[in-house]
């Protein structure tokens, strides 16, 4: 028997209602209302933290990244035009912050440690104790994925974003996103069958 | 469909986004090909495992406290250097506690329109998906790239095109009004700009969400309701920054400008100089120098000239002395503004002069100049304004009282209007009005022409009143007059409504056209996107085929090598066998030989 394609649970009315409520909150927050921004923070902090945790594979770094994401979001609230979901926007900030962090980390290591193999000092290659208690195998397998493939895989298969949205979040082409996903799944299958 | 083609389609198949035809092909291939079926099943198993992963994970520590303290930084002075997400250029703004920041007029105006702005903004957010588009990752806001423009009268051009009726002004196009033409420019969602005759303006591109126009020469009347620092007018000598206000800005052919603020507050900035101009004040700006000091509308010519000399010439102490000589109480605002810039030798003089009008808030003496920071100067200016306002109010009350007295007097004397007593009293009253009006004019900057008009009107009313009263209040006549006025009002009301409706219809029409244009662009973009995707897929497939071909060739090569190896082995074995056979043969021959010899023996 063939595997059934996964169906989208899309309810347009609910989505519209939520996005209007969210737009109101964002509007209020962008006028400098810290309390309203806290509501938005509480709504999305766990999702963003989970995302940062998976891409960085390090709880401390994930906490720092999550803080940076929300501070950046607060500063740039007025540039959020509402043509995408607020969560999508937050994820795109998270991806940027992560890539920036990686760049800084790499530069820092290049300056401080004179070595031929920078990767051995790379934080992401270290194994950390996860907060996720179950599914340790799959979480560890995800952490071994190459950077871009990992981002696309987490966004698509864990957070349920479509390729079009991922293209927007990670600033890549839709085709590239598909290619990364294909590669990530293949690598994961191999890793899990070891 | 081939296996490598199917591999790429698995993701789309599971996402249920494959076209029906491809989906059928996919399924028919899967039902026949075991390896592809296995791959699909493995992917599904993987996805089932992944679906068990939590999407939300709570961090171990409370992150909000840190975030809150980062967005509410305290500076060394203990002031909140709160980063507020107000500025639209993407960088955080620090709230400056400098002068005029808390000026009540600007705040009131903002509060007054705050609710309306909020509702409008919320409506806009609901409309945004249909109004915004995205091209190559750059957000394009069609509201900001072209603003509606309405021709009021005369001949106006946009670039080399003649403006007829309603049109729109795009970024970079210059709008030029001629001798007797006038145009209304709508700043989307913020207000309107009336472009007066002989003016040249254009919209300046801003990627940071600001609304910005350039005024090359001429006059604009802006009526803007927006957050502070949202709307900007660039001129050659200074940039006018809106703090929620109505103002007139004129720039001559050299680029020198003069600003008059009717309501709210405007900042003029250039060459590191900044002047905050409150309502009822003028401010000049000179090319190469920047903005000068704000001054009131009806200040004396001598004061004005000295100020100009001080701001833009090399007036120095002479100018200050002239200004002090001619300053009246309302000029105190200008003098306080000048205080931080004036030479130390003259500072005590300026200070003492303003002190005499209104002393600064707090316990300060008149004979020694204290250090006053911007906040304190700001408070002082507010105190001066409040003091003037109180006097205006007092005068208005007095005038009201006089009017009432006059009215009562007329009633007391019944029809005897021609009596001397009445005329004397009337004259006395008119004189009182005049005094009151003069005082008001000085304090509140009401132009003399307006007062004269007001007086003429008042005298006429009195005449009419006398006339009507003489004829025992012809009630029927009055009734008729009132009805007539009522009808006139209703008529003009209807006309106004009609105009409003027409204007709304025009706007709707324009909106619809914009939306259609938007949809068309989106369709085009989607089409391009689809083509790109197809191209990408095609390339990926080609790459895959190529790779497979290389793999196949490699396998072929390996097989060939293996065969050669085996061939070599077989040859070696054969050689070995031959040798053995030869040896055995030799042995046998030798044995036979030996046997033969033995036999012979």
A131 belongs to a structural domain: no
Domain boundaries along the sequence of chain B: 3-131, 146-292
> Are A21 and A116 within one domain?
yes
Whether the CB-CB separation of B176 and B156 falls below 8 Å is answered with: yes
The segment with the largest mean pLDDT, out of B54-68, B265-279, B300-314, B530-544, is B530-544
How far apart, in whole angstroms, are the C-alpha atoms of residue B62 and residue B270? 45
In a domain, A29, yes or no: yes
Mean pLDDT of chain B: 76
Query: Does residue A186 belong to any structural domain of this protein?
Result: yes
Q: Rounded CA gap, B215 and B195, in Å?
A: 10
Q: Which of A5, A71, A192 lies nearest to residue B70, judging by beta carbons?
A: A71
Q: How many domains does chain A have?
A: 2
**Torsion sign, CA atoms B95, B97, B102, B106:** negative
The size of the A-B interface in CB pairs under 8 A is 168
- Tokens representing A134 are 């179950």
Phi-psi region of A75 (alpha: psi -120 to 50; beta: other; left: phi over 0): alpha
- Short-list B428, B422, B447, CA closest to B437: B447
Contact of B196 with B181, CB cutoff 8 Å: no
Q: Which range (A108-112, A135-139, B286-290, B373-377) has the least confidence? A: A108-112
Task: Reply yes or no on whether the pLDDT at A131 is more than 70.
Answer: no
Q: What is the pLDDT of residue B69?
A: 85
Residues A99 and A172 in one domain: no
- Residue A123 touches partner B, C-beta closer than 8 Å: no
The DSSP call for residue B519 is H
Residues A135/A146, Cβ–Cβ less than 8 Å: no
Are residues A94 and A38 part of one domain? yes
A34/A112 same-domain check: yes
Give the whole-number percent of chain A exceeding pLDDT 90.
Answer: 34
Is A60 inside a domain boundary? yes
E-strand stretches of B108-205: 132-135, 138-141, 146-153, 156-158, 161-162, 166-170, 174-177, 182-187, 191-195, 200-203
Residues of chain A numbered 124-143 and touching chain B (CB < 8 Å): 131-132, 134-135, 138-139
Please report residues of B whose CB lies closer than 8 A to that of A9.
Answer: none
Query: Minimum mean pLDDT among A33-37, A180-184, B101-105, B390-394: which range?
Result: B101-105
Q: Mind telling me how many Å the CA of B4 is from chain A's nearest CA?
A: 12
CATH (domain of A151) = 1.10.10.10
Same domain, A77 and A159: no
A160 and A102 assigned to the same domain? no
For tokens 């994961």, the residue is A188
Which residue is closest to A40 within chain B, CA to CA?
B64
Residues A112 and A160 in one domain: no
Higher pLDDT, B590 or B493: B590
Nearest chain B residue to A29 by CA distance is: B85
Per-residue pLDDT, B343: 79
Nearest to B215 by CA among B234, B197, B242: B234
Which residues of chain A lie closer than 8 angstroms to B126, CB-CB? 20, 23
Percent of chain B with pLDDT over 90: 18
Which one has a higher pLDDT value, B271 or A68? A68
Which of the four pLDDT bands, split at 50, 70 and 90, describes residue B94?
A: very low
Residues A72 and A144 occupy one common structural domain = no
Across residues A169-194, what is the average pLDDT? 89
Strand partners, B80: B74
Q: Residue B195: what pLDDT? A: 92
From the number of C-beta atoms within 10 Å of its C-beta (0-12, 13-18, 19+), residue B376 rates as middle
pLDDT digits (tens, 9 = 90+) for B217-254: 999 999 988 777 888 999 988 999 887 788 999 998 88
Q: Which residues of B128-165 are buried (b: 16+ CB within 10 A; e: fewer)?
A: eeebbbeeeeeeebbbbebbbbbbeeeebbbeeeebee
- Flag whether pLDDT at A23 surpasses 90: no
Contact A75 B91 (CB under 8 A): yes
Identify which has the larger pLDDT, A36 or B208: A36
- What's the CA gap between B227 and B246, in Å, rounded? 13
The overall average pLDDT reported for chain A is: 79
Q: How far apart are CA B385 and CA B294, in angstroms?
A: 14
How far apart are the C-alpha atoms of B380 and B370, rounded to whole Å?
Answer: 13
Domain range for residue A193?
138-194
Q: Hey, what CATH class is B146-292 in?
A: mainly beta
pTM: 0.38
On whether residue A130 sits in a domain, the answer given is no
Check pLDDT > 60 for residue B72: yes
Query: The domain spanning residue A34 has which CATH number?
Result: 1.10.1740.10
ipTM of the shown complex: 0.82
For residues A51 and A82, membership in a common domain is answered with yes
Domain boundary among A66, A87, A122: A122
Judge contact between B231 and B190, C-beta under 8 A: yes
How many other CB atoms are there within 10 angstroms of residue B280's CB atom?
20
Which H helix or E strand runs over B247? strand B245-251
Question: Of the given ranges (A108-117, B250-259, B456-465, B591-600), which has the lowest mean pLDDT?
Answer: A108-117
Report CB contact under 8 Å: A59, B60. yes
What part of A 44-63 touches B (C-beta under 8 Å)?
45-47, 49-50, 53, 59, 62-63
In a domain, A21, yes or no: yes
Question: B570: burial class by Cβ within 10 Å (0-12, 13-18, 19+)?
Answer: exposed
Residue B79's Cβ-side half-sphere holds a number of Cα atoms within 13 Å equal to: 9
Structural domain includes residue A61: yes
Q: Please state the φ and ψ torsions of residue B138, each to the nearest 5 degrees.
A: -100, 125
Whether the pLDDT of residue A109 is over 70: the answer is no
pLDDT tens track for B143-156? 446 788 888 887 88
Task: Check whether residue A101 and residue A150 sit in a common domain.
Answer: no
Cα–Cα distance measured from residue A89 to residue A96, given in angstroms and rounded to the nearest whole number? 11
B53 touches chain A (CB under 8 A): yes
pLDDT at A9 over 60: no
Question: CA end-to-end span of chain B, whole Å?
Answer: 88
Please identify which residue in the block is written with the tokens 């329109």: B113
């Amino acid at each position: 028997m063939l595997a059934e394609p996964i169906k989208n649970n899309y309810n347009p009315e609910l989505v519209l209602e939520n996005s209007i409520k969210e737009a109101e909150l964002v509007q209020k927050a962008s006028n400098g209302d810290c309390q309203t921004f806290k509501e938005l923070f509480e709504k999305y902090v766990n999702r963003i933290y989970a995302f940062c945790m998976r891409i960085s594979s390090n709880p401390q770094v994930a906490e720092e990244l999550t803080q940076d994401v929300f501070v950046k979001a607060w500063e740039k609230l007025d540039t959020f035009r509402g043509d995408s979901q607020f969560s999508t926007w937050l994820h795109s900030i998270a991806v940027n912050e992560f890539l920036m962090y990686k760049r800084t980390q790499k530069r820092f290591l290049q300056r401080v440690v004179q070595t031929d193999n920078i990767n051995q000092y790379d934080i992401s290659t270290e194994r950390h104790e996860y907060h996720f208690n179950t599914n340790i195998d799959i979480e560890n397998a995800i952490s071994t994925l190459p950077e871009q493939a990992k981002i696309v895989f987490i966004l698509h298969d864990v957070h349920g974003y479509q390729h079009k949205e991922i293209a927007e979040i990670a600033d890549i082409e839709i085709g590239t996103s598909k290619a990364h996903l294909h590669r990530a799944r293949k690598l994961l299958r191999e890793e899990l069958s070891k | 469909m081939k296996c490598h083609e199917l591999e790429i389609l698995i993701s789309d198949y599971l996402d249920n986004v494959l076209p029906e035809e491809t989906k059928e092909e996919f399924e028919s291939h899967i039902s026949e090909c075991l390896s592809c079926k296995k791959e699909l099943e493995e992917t599904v198993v993987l996805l089932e495992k992944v679906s068990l992963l939590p999407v939300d994970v709570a961090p171990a520590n409370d992150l909000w406290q840190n975030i809150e303290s980062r967005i509410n930084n305290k500076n060394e002075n203990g002031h909140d250097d709160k980063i507020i997400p107000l500025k639209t250029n993407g960088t955080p703004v620090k709230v400056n506690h400098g002068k005029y920041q808390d000026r009540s007029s600007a705040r009131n105006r903002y509060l007054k329109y705050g609710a309306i702005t909020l509702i409008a903004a919320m409506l806009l957010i609901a409309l945004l998906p249909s109004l915004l588009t995205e091209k190559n990752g750059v957000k394009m806001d069609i509201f900001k790239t072209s603003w509606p423009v309405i021709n009021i009268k005369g001949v106006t051009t946009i670039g080399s095109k003649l403006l007829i009726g309603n049109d729109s002004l795009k970024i970079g196009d210059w709008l030029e009004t001629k001798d007797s033409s006038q145009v209304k420019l709508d700043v989307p969602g913020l207000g309107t700009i009336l472009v007066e005759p002989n003016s040249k303006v254009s919209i300046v591109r801003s990627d940071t969400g600001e609304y910005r126009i350039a005024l090359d020469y001429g006059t604009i009347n802006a009526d803007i309701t927006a957050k502070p620092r949202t709307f900007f007018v660039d001129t050659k000598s200074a940039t006018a920054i809106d703090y929620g206000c109505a103002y007139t800005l004129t720039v001559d052919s050299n680029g020198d400008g003069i600003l008059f603020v009717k309501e709210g507050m405007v900042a003029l900035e250039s060459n590191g100089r900044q002047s905050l101009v409150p309502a009822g004040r003028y401010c000049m700006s000179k090319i190469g120098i920047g903005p000068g000091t704000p001054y009131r509308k009806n200040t004396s010519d001598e004061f004005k000239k000295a100020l100009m000399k001080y701001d833009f010439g090399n007036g120095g102490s002479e100018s200050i002395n002239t200004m002090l000589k001619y300053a009246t109480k309302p000029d105190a605002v200008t003098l306080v503004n000048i205080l931080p810039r004036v030479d130390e030798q003259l500072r005590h003089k300026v200070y003492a002069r303003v002190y005499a009008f209104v002393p600064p808030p707090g316990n300060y003496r008149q004979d020694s100049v204290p250090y006053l920071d911007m906040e304190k100067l700001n408070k002082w200016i507010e105190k001066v304004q409040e003091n003037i306002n109180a006097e205006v109010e007092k005068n208005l009350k007095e005038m009201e009282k006089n009017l009432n007295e006059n009215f009562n007097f007329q009633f007391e004397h019944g029809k005897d209007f021609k009596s001397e007593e009445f005329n004397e009293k009337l004259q006395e009253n008119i004189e009182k009005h005049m005094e009151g009006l003069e005082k008001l004019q000085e304090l509140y900057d009401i132009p003399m022409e307006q007062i004269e008009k007001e007086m003429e009107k008042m005298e006429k009313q009195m005449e009419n009143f006398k006339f009507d009263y003489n004829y025992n209040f012809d009630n029927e006549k009055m009734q008729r007059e009132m009805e007539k006025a009522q009808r006139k009002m209703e008529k003009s009301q209807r006309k106004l409504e009609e105009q409003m409706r027409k204007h709304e219809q025009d706007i709707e029409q324009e909106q619809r056209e914009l939306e259609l244009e938007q949809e068309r662009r989106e369709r085009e973009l989607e089409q391009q996107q689809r083509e790109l995707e197809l191209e990408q897929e095609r390339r990926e497939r080609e790459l895959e085929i190529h790779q497979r071909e290389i793999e196949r060739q490699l396998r072929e090569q390996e097989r060939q090598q293996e065969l050669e190896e085996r061939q070599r082995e077989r040859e070696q074995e054969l050689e070995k066998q031959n040798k053995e056979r030869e040896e055995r043969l030799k042995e046998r021959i030798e044995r036979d030989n030996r046997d033969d010899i033995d036999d012979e023996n």
